[in-house]
A and B are shown apart, each in its own frame.
Chain A
Amino acid sequence: MINIPKRLQNPILRFSAFFTKFRQTAAQKLFRLERRLQGGNRYAAQIYFLFWSGGLLLLWLWDVLFLHAPERHLLEKAFVHSLFIATLVVLFSFAMAWATAYSIEFFTDRQKTIAAGAILFTLNLIRSLPQIVGVLLGYVWITYEIQTGQITSNIAIMLRMSVFLALFIFPEVVALLRERIAYFRQSDFFNAMRVSGISEWRIINYDILWKNSRLHILNKMIAVFSAAIFLQCSVDFIVSVGLSTRISAINLPVTLGSLLANIDSKQDILAIGYALTHPDYLPNLFFRHLQGISVALVIVFTLFSLYKITNALAERFHL
């Protein structure tokens, strides 16, 4: 039989002892966490990624509990579509940027300045047109194709959307790739490798871009993802609000931007302003106005988290 000290035989005392022990252990753990955070966190980017995923998961659980199923399904669909388009934008913009940057290097190396100049000239022209205008013109083209029946499936529409978005985002990636190549071209190792008979293709693609610029490219791709979400939401919102008489929401796949332009969502967002002046109305935001608030929160929270991730990566690896 176990001998329990007399002072612990009383359940209240036992609970008190347990509680004291728990407090001490928790305080110790918090102290360790505090020390670790003070010393700078190596895993800040990963933590922010978890913060983003966790936040979205929490919001989804809240929506499961309090948002009507049809509205929730619409929100899920919009979120998936937006992520899909943004992912495609990342892939397309990288492919375009790589091809462009490599072509410029290729032509410059072979003294074909006219060809390189033409590419640079085109790049500058794309950069001189505000992204939103370019993407909007792309959307006009897409709606023309929809109206004439040339495209019908959602996948085809989203593919075209991402191509147009990528077309006006990829110059940023070209600038990064060219900057990295130029940086390494100045160093001795480039010439040393060329003298050793290693092809320029391998030096640029493997040694410079893959081995020495992976993190820079990854960071840029996250920024591109964020820019794609922002531009896509903005254009979809504009198209849904401004061009709504011609293009019904059925024609274009639902995205976070178009869902936000929905009259119900706009009313929900307006409730935020109302709650600021009438604080007693605040709890309603989390139950009655969930659709618009959820869409707005997903957009803002995603932009904020992605910014934090890129920042953390840049600080961690001194990019």
Chain B
Amino acid sequence: MKKINREHLGSAIFVSLFLFVLFCLTRPPASSGNLPSPAVQMLNRIQPDINDPFQVQLFKDMAAAFAGADSNRFLTYWQQMQQYRQNQQQRIVSRQKATYRVSLGRLFTMYLNFIWIYLLVIALTYYGVQTLGTYLFLRYKQHQPSHAVRIISAARRILLKPTVKNWNVFFALCLSALIKTGLYFVLFAPAYVIAYSIKSDFDTDSTLFMILLGIISNGVLITYANKFFHLLLTESRKGYVRTAVVKNLNHNFTPGSRKGISWRALFALRKNFNGHVLQHIFMNARFQYVATFKEQAAFIITGLIIIEMALNIHGHLSYELLQQLLYRNYDLAILIIWGIFLLVKATEWATDGILYRIKKRLGYQ
């Protein structure tokens, strides 16, 4: 565990220091409100065009004619006026930037809100992945033919005996295949495609909608549910499962049946299939799934950032990151990135810690 702590703490400190240096470097300097000398102010009030060579030359000639050998003093005024104008320009840009700057307190509130949404999404995804993965596994265990095979079979039956019943079966299968494909498309669609097909504008009240998008869109749920399904499948082919089956442990995988797996057990928050061989398959698969959790967490954070940025949800952390990048308030952008980095690091740390504890409990450490 010490090694894990050292690794994570080391990288967190290293990146924090690096970002702190960047934060200090990019922090805007306090603007000096010093006014130039009255002569320079007067010269600026005439509004000469400093880019016009004629006016520059005219000023030089006038200075030479008026002051003779002392004309250099007037040329210095000209340079000071140039500098003064540049400063004024910079001040306008800084003022513009400052308009879009948010206070650190507000940023912190947004960060807490982001963490809250993230935790909620990650918890719901964790549950969703295991439930959907187990359901896919149970369906696989029914050895039902795929939709394509059933549609072909129905079409064949129509060719041989075109009755109304056969046509109905064929259409019902086609409809169900269409719905299934539609669902797949929703699960694989990027969040902004789903979001813009439902709403055109998003405000701070869209948090619930955002959470829902974070779970179902961007392919997160289906990818990891499929991964979990494959873990279950691999486990179910192992020797200990066959031994348990031979020893007459319950291995009826029919979902919803009295002797098989009840719906209640399948949808429970803490899944427990006691007295069924699935319990052991599930526990071993879940252990392997936890190992991939870091990757999933990073994917979820990426998804949430995409949702907040793409939907322009005001008052959210990622939207603010985009705004600060746009108005070149790089110091604030760095601060937000640092916060996101710490969140990812904390998730990685927690995952490694949990894995370590499980391994220790099982006697692998």
Q: Which residues of A contact B (CB under 8 A)?
A: 23-24, 26-27, 30-31, 33-34, 37-38, 121, 124-125, 127-133, 136-137, 140, 230, 233-234, 237-238, 241-243, 245-246, 260, 266, 269-270, 272-273, 296, 299-301, 303-304, 307, 311, 314
Contact = CB atoms under 8 A, between A and B. Distances in A.
Contact of B310 (A26, A31, A241): A241
B312 A242 contact: yes
Given A230-B219, A243-B322, A266-B196, 18 more contacts: A23-B159, A34-B152, A34-B156, A37-B145, A127-B298, A129-B337, A132-B306, A230-B190, A230-B218, A233-B190, A238-B310, A242-B326, A269-B196, A269-B197, A273-B198, A299-B189, A300-B185, A304-B185
B20 interface: no
Contacts of A132: 302, 305-306, 309
Nearest to B311: A241
A269 B196 CA distance: 6
Contacts of B223: 307
A125 B310 contact: no
A243 B326 contact: yes
Contact of B309 (A23, A124, A238, A269): A238
Nearest to A127: B298
B189 A234 contact: no
23 contacts: A26-B159, A27-B156, A30-B156, A34-B156, A128-B11, A128-B345, A129-B337, A130-B302, A132-B302, A136-B322, A136-B325, A230-B190, A230-B218, A230-B219, A234-B190, A238-B306, A245-B326, A266-B200, A303-B219, A304-B185, A307-B188, A307-B219, A314-B230
Do most interface residues of chain A lie in helix, strand or loop, or is the interface mixed? Answer: helix
Q: Please list the 9 inter-chain residue pairs (A to B) with the smallest Cβ-Cβ separation, ordered nearest first.
A: A272-B197, A30-B156, A27-B159, A242-B322, A238-B309, A304-B188, A273-B198, A132-B302, A130-B302
Which residue, of B10, B14, B148, B325, has the highest number of chain A Cβ atoms within 10 A? B325
B44 interface: no
A243 to B, nearest CB: 5
Contacts of B196: 266, 269-270
A299 B193 CA distance: 9
Interface of B: 7, 10-11, 14-15, 145-146, 148-149, 152-153, 155-156, 159-160, 184-185, 188-190, 192-193, 196-200, 218-219, 222-223, 226, 230, 298, 301-302, 305-306, 309-310, 312, 319, 321-323, 325-326, 337, 340-341, 344-345, 348
Contacts of A234: 190, 192, 306, 310
A231 to B, nearest CB: 8
A128 B340 CA distance: 9
Which residue, of B15, B149, B188, has the highest number of chain A Cβ atoms within 10 A? B188
A299 B310 CA distance: 16
B326 A37 contact: no
Nearest to B345: A128
Do most interface residues of chain B lie in helix, strand or loop, or is the interface mixed? Answer: helix
B152 A30 contact: yes
B326 A38 contact: no
Contacts of A129: 337, 340-341, 344
Contacts of B153: 30, 34
B268 to A, nearest CB: 28
A40 to B, nearest CB: 10
A125 B306 contact: no
Given A121-B11, A130-B344, A303-B219, A270 B322 contact: no
Contact of B193 (A127, A128, A243, A260): A260
Contacts of A121: 10-11, 14
A38 B145 contact: yes
A270 B344 contact: no
Contacts of A242: 309-310, 312, 319, 322-323, 326
A128 B11 CA distance: 9
A317 to B, nearest CB: 13
A34 B189 contact: no
A179 B319 CA distance: 37
A233 B217 CA distance: 14
A173 B226 CA distance: 20
A188 to B, nearest CB: 23
Contacts of A24: 159-160
Given A26-B159, A238-B306, A245-B326, A33 B152 contact: yes
A30 B159 CA distance: 10
Given A30-B155, A34-B149, A128-B341, A300 B189 contact: yes
Contacts of B309: 132, 136, 238, 241-242
Contacts of A245: 326
Contacts of B160: 23-24, 27
A26 B152 CA distance: 11
Nearest to B184: A304
B326 A246 contact: yes
Nearest to A234: B306
A140 B329 CA distance: 13
A300 to B, nearest CB: 5
B146 to A, nearest CB: 7
Contacts of A26: 159
Nearest to B191: A234
Which residue, of B14, B146, B190, has the highest number of chain A Cβ atoms within 10 A? B190
A301 B193 CA distance: 12
A241 B191 CA distance: 14
A7 B145 CA distance: 42
A300 B193 contact: yes
A170 to B, nearest CB: 14
Contacts of B310: 234, 237-238, 241-242
A272 B195 CA distance: 11
A129 B258 CA distance: 48
B188 A300 contact: yes
Contacts of B230: 314
Contacts of A260: 192-193
